[in-house]
Chains A and B, each alone.
Chain A
């Protein structure tokens, strides 16, 4: 099992010492995380790594997952899309079903806790049934809620207002809420199967198994097949590049069980890529972390052409692997990429095509940007920083009137 000390060669022993001293101040606090899936999607991925590390630091941690039927996940997917600004219509019956599934889940949670961190809208309503079971209830929003659909937000706002604080990934996602709001940027785990160093043989084995030849520069986008990730726009950009420069495109999409739209978007992508032998579409299972790692490491340029984005952990992963990244200028991607520095931000398929060509013709610039990107991630977006943020948040919430805590 990976231990805290395994991170010392990557982040420095002083960072590990800091975490241990902060955790010692908290002692054996009970800390429950609740979300809606144990596999698939960035939230489940990071929880699967953060929970064991928090336990190693001496906290009493639980990770609970709510269950729901297909209708529930369609409703919460619609809520997710509404928070990202899409017009959706949720009928009173749908909202009742959302509440009812939360009520059913609440019955199985009998723990008591010091802190509960509820991730995203799916389990948010649990607070109505479980509030006496924990001292501090905090809502964690991982979604780009910068321009939410008004009616759905009003519904959620009433629920979220019952929490004592909220946490957002970016300041632009913060809302008008009657409690303190905090920023915790998402992070990646450099020792996970998706991010650990791989040997050349390991990379080659995956490419062989997936049928990808390295005969031309590889452009890659890894993301769920979701319209906000604009996979069709990536194909358009690729076709523009291909008119001038030989390369190939790999679109690798994971599925997530809470995303009923996945199959439809996948069909649209297949149609757009028809008759183009240099486009390879890979539908990967949610646990294909090793394969994603190898694909990212084998690629020459990595694209994340989202039109809405919470944070864009796939961008962070690619940067950590020292790759030049071209990302849509939305959400957390804006925070991560700076033109000519740690990557390129683009606003259209044409912009994406232009930057791909730019980098294909300037391999030294691509390498330099990749090196800067890796250091940037090391300082800001590794899991050790997120663990520190959680510990700091708990200390601050236990002393809510203090703006400067001297320990």
Chain B
């Protein structure tokens, strides 16, 4: 389907910004058994922070593992086998945080069942539990056309990408549906592009990679309307 660069949307896309304020809860795990017990006991907000929200916190340029539990297993316990298991788990496979919690607990229980010793963290590398408060702010940036949407997508902060694409897949309650693809679908149709965006395996991308992948897909489907070289 051909879209003209200035074809207006019925409803403009309103970009939001999302600021995270991490809140350490003053509890820590020194070894894998303590991590397992804490994951059984702590609020879902803690799980949500370490699985999802931590992406908005400090992350190194090239993170090898997609969640903080896997990263801790690799860096602090120096247990790459466990890190692999915790990396392969995808929270987007589940309906709610209760199921996500059970899934992580199952991985850890099974792992602990089979080993002879409890892996301990190196001194100074204990797992410190956090939750977070979030401020979501409507920005003044609105996209009335797909062309402006692409130009804006290039410029907005990674916190916007997190909110509209990563967090939205959880917030909207329909897995694989995010704010961007929903807006494109309801304003322009474009089922192939929408399906391609919803097919992105986002859990394994950094926020910057998600932005680049999105722009790449839109360019691939709509050509010069979304010029990647800008």
Contacts and interface: CB of A to CB of B under 8 A. Distances in A.
B2 interface: no
Contacts of B133: 182, 396, 402-405
A185 B25 CA distance: 16
B138 to A, nearest CB: 7
B1 interface: no
A98 interface: no
Interface in A361-407: 372, 375-376, 380, 388-389, 392-393, 395-396, 402-407
A404 B22 contact: no
A183 B134 contact: no
B156 interface: yes
Interface string B90-134: 000000000000000000000000000000000011101110011
B26 to A, nearest CB: 5
Given A21-B137, A395-B135, A405-B136, A171 B22 contact: yes
Nearest to A395: B135
A128 interface: no
A392 B135 contact: yes
Given A177-B26, A183-B130, A403-B45, A338 B60 contact: yes
A15 B156 CA distance: 9
Contacts of B138: 407
User: SS class of chain B's interface: helix, strand, loop or mixed?
Assistant: strand
Interface in B1-37: 17, 19, 21-26, 28
A22 B137 contact: yes
A183 B22 CA distance: 5
A221 interface: no
B24 A403 contact: no
Interface string A50-89: 0000000000000000000000000000000000000000
B124 A334 contact: yes
A342 B137 contact: no
Given A341-B62, A376-B61, A380-B58, A405 B135 contact: yes
A14 interface: yes
A171 B22 CA distance: 9
Contacts of A396: 21, 133, 135
Contacts of B135: 392, 395-396, 404-405, 407
A168 interface: yes
A181 B124 contact: no
Given A402-B133, A407-B135, A407-B137, A330 B19 contact: no
Contacts of B156: 14
Interface string B134-145: 111111100000
B140 A21 contact: yes
Contacts of B139: 18, 21
B216 interface: no
Contacts of A172: 24, 28, 124, 126, 128
A175 interface: yes
A174 B126 CA distance: 13
Nearest to B160: A14
A341 B61 contact: yes
Interface in A329-350: 329-330, 334-335, 338, 341-342
A145 to B, nearest CB: 11
Contact of A180 (B23, B58, B155): B23
A83 B155 CA distance: 43
Given A171-B128, A172-B128, A341-B61, A181 B23 contact: yes
A176 B129 CA distance: 12
Q: Which of B17, B58, B135, B137 has the most CB of A within 10 A?
A: B135
B71 to A, nearest CB: 11
A95 to B, nearest CB: 24
A141 B129 CA distance: 18
A389 B21 contact: yes
Contacts of B155: 12, 14
A166 to B, nearest CB: 10
B155 to A, nearest CB: 6
A328 to B, nearest CB: 10
Interface of A: 12, 14-15, 17-18, 21-22, 146, 168, 170-177, 180-183, 185, 329-330, 334-335, 338, 341-342, 372, 375-376, 380, 388-389, 392-393, 395-396, 402-407
23 contacts: A14-B157, A18-B17, A18-B139, A18-B157, A21-B139, A171-B128, A172-B24, A172-B28, A172-B124, A174-B26, A176-B26, A181-B23, A183-B130, A335-B58, A341-B61, A388-B19, A389-B21, A396-B133, A402-B133, A403-B134, A405-B135, A407-B136, A407-B138
Interface pairs A-B: 4 shortest CB-CB: A174-B24, A171-B24, A171-B128, A183-B22
Given A181-B25, A372-B61, A405-B133, 19 more contacts: A12-B155, A171-B129, A171-B130, A172-B24, A172-B126, A182-B22, A329-B124, A334-B125, A341-B60, A341-B62, A342-B60, A380-B58, A392-B19, A392-B21, A404-B134, A405-B136, A407-B135, A407-B137, A407-B138
